[in-house]
Structure 1
Amino acid sequence: MTDVLVLGGAGVDTIVRVPELPLPFADSYPVDTGVHTRAGQTGDFVALGLAALGLDVHHLDLIGDDPEGDLVRALHRERGIALTALPQPAGTKRAVNLVGPDGRRLSLYDTSRARPGDRFPDDVLRPLAKAARHVHVTITQPCAEALPLLRETGVPLSTDLHDWDGENPYHEPYALAADVVFLSATALTDPERTMRRTAERGRARIVVATAGAEGAYLLADGELTHVPPMTPPAPVVDSNGAGDAFAAAFLYGRLAGETPERCARYGAAAGAYACTVPATRTDAIGRDGLLGEGAVTA
């Protein structure tokens, strides 16, 4: 058995540090810190976070035969994470992330690296899902098409809706199919309303809205609680990957049989750690670090 199958979200980011966000128009800007390209998008970061916590992870996605794909394959090989890379003629997913001095990020996501007819073959996806204790589904194409098959297998599902506004129909299939839903409160005027609506309309017993320095909100079995933020162990340099780290640590706790509240504290600790890691790196908190951050205390 695999602990977690991560579906989708494999790709490459190019990181550019900018003097401020939003970035005022100018003909050019000097970038003294350099322009860095590294493997690591949402699925990669969740897989890395889970593996760093000692879980057995398998990652499945469509990846191009290109330099970006080589970086993704190398990352998984170096970290010992099983990867099934199906051919993607359109190329490997990529994005450009502008990172401000306070660690905030603006991501420019290249949607050309997908085709309308893309699918995960049933004979590949089904056995991987049935061999997993849990499946985390990213919102990259073509993961939505895989949701009916995943529900057939009966394996528990989670997803991260990122900065969903509660209305965009693109996110709805994921929001309604998952047993555990993560999202950011960034675009929500009323997080509680969106969280409760998601739970009422779909299958989710747990909905978590992360709120950056304000912590997070946890809706579990109809009860809403606030999860206080954890103090980062070092200066905050970049928020990239914090939500993925939160999700990975939460799922680690869930698979260990912890309460939703304790899972959320794990998530808060991992998210705080991620904010201390520059976007040019792909470090994740380990089990010893997580349990030593006070996340297990009441």
Structure 2
Amino acid sequence: MAQQENDPSDHDVLVVGGSGVDTVVRVDSLPVPLADSVGVAPILESPGHTGGNVALGLTALGLSVKFLDFIGDDWTGEQVRDRLTEGGVDFETLISPAGTRRAVNLVDRTGRRMSFHDARDPEGLRMPREFYLPHLRRTRHVHLSITDFARFLYDDIAELGVPVSTDLHDWDGLTDHHREFALRSDLVFLSASGASGRIASVMREILREGRAEAVIATAGAGGSYLMEREGSRTPRPIQATVPPGPVVDSNGAGDAYLCGFLYGRLAGRDLEECARLGALAGAYACTGEGSAAQIGLDGLLAHTV
């Protein structure tokens, strides 16, 4: 089911998978105390999820984006469609019998979050080749969310020679689900929180065992770390950017970082400069609710030299 007529022109980025709706619950602190009932601020619904946030963020930066995914024929799916249409994203969908993905995010006063996401996609779900292949042939870059069906695009991506990125989120370096994404992508993003003190060895393993040009680990207010195939196997620290306003919500900050980085890469910037652009976009995202605080191209470039 297409959301709008297909534009025959090429796209800068094809995003596959990862749409859904976040339910955001604000709490005083994390972890929350054990209690039968807790009063909280108004609970908010925020369409986006990782794939949606990336598609919206890249579009806000002036890139041409095509977004493919399964969503449900349900009211949450309508929320996703409306938000992406509002953000100018070229979104084309297939109907999932399991419905639209959901997540519940607890967010404390500092903007730190804890996310509970459902894994509702049915086992064996596949995106038909005739649905995605024409778009693979017309894009400069592919970004795969770590939804299980997305892994089955890798063979076609490799055959066509299209650069591909992925975000492993809080991968600990051990869980099998993430490994193929880690080893078959050209740019690999992940949160340093998953592997904690082992993050450097996980980054080295991805470069040693896989095809990545670079691995980028984000660490929130601690900045980020960059490790390149052609360079030192010691993570290069990238200083965090101070948010331009009060921190409201860290949901989507990692997705925004990825958008700033990919914008830089597609513009021909070097990897360290891409990481600094990512840090700017990630900091900006912390100043608004959900996917609402996407930095535009003028804002991104205004802080670079």
TM-score interval for Structure 1 and Structure 2 normalised by the shorter chain: over 0.9
Q: Deviations over 1:67-121 (max 9, x none)?
A: 010011111111111011111011011111111111111111111x211121111
What does 1:44-123 correspond to in 2, within 5 Å? Answer: 44-111=52-119, 113-123=120-130
CA contact (8 A) 1:207 1:219 kept: yes
Query: In the alignment, what sits opposite 2:183?
Result: 176
Query: In the alignment, what sits opposite 1:146?
Result: 153
Which of the residues 143, 147, 169 maps onto 1:162? Answer: 169
- Counterpart check, 1:222 vs 2:243: no
CA contact (8 A) 1:195 1:219 kept: yes
CA contact (8 A) 2:284 2:293 kept: no
Q: Deviations over 1:148-198 (max 9, x none)?
A: 222222110000000001111110010001000000101222222111110
Question: Hey, what's the Cα distance between the residues in 1 that align with 2:76 and 2:293?
Answer: 19
Give the letter for the 1:289 counterpart: G
CA contact (8 A) 2:286 2:293 kept: no
- Counterpart check, 1:276 vs 2:287: yes
- Counterpart check, 1:21 vs 2:35: no
| Pairs aligned (count) | 292
Q: Deviations over 1:228-251 (max 9, x none)?
A: 111110011211101000001100
Root mean square deviation, CA, Å:
1.1
Give the letter for the 1:292 counterpart: A
Partner SS state of residue 10, structure 1: coil
Alpha-carbon offset, residue 222 of structure 1: 2.8
Query: In the alignment, what sits opposite 2:242?
Result: 231
Question: Hey, what's the Cα distance between the residues in 2 that align with 1:277 and 1:140?
Answer: 26
Question: Hey, what's the Cα distance between the residues in 2 that align with 1:18 and 1:148?
Answer: 44
TM-score (norm 1): 0.95
Q: Deviations over 1:185-238 (max 9, x none)?
A: 012222221111101100101100011111111112233421111111001121
Partner SS state of residue 194, structure 2: coil
Query: In the alignment, what sits opposite 1:195?
Result: 203
TM-score (norm 2): 0.93
Alpha-carbon offset, residue 145 of structure 1: 2.2
Alpha-carbon offset, residue 278 of structure 1: 2.2
CA contact (8 A) 1:15 1:96 kept: yes
Give the letter for the 1:211 counterpart: A
Gaps of 5+ in 2: 1-9
Which of the residues 264, 267, 272 maps onto 1:261? Answer: 272
Structure 1: 4+ residue segments shifted above 4 A:
none
Gaps of 5+ in 1: none
Identity %: 51
Question: Hey, what's the Cα distance between the residues in 2 that align with 1:49 and 1:118?
Answer: 27
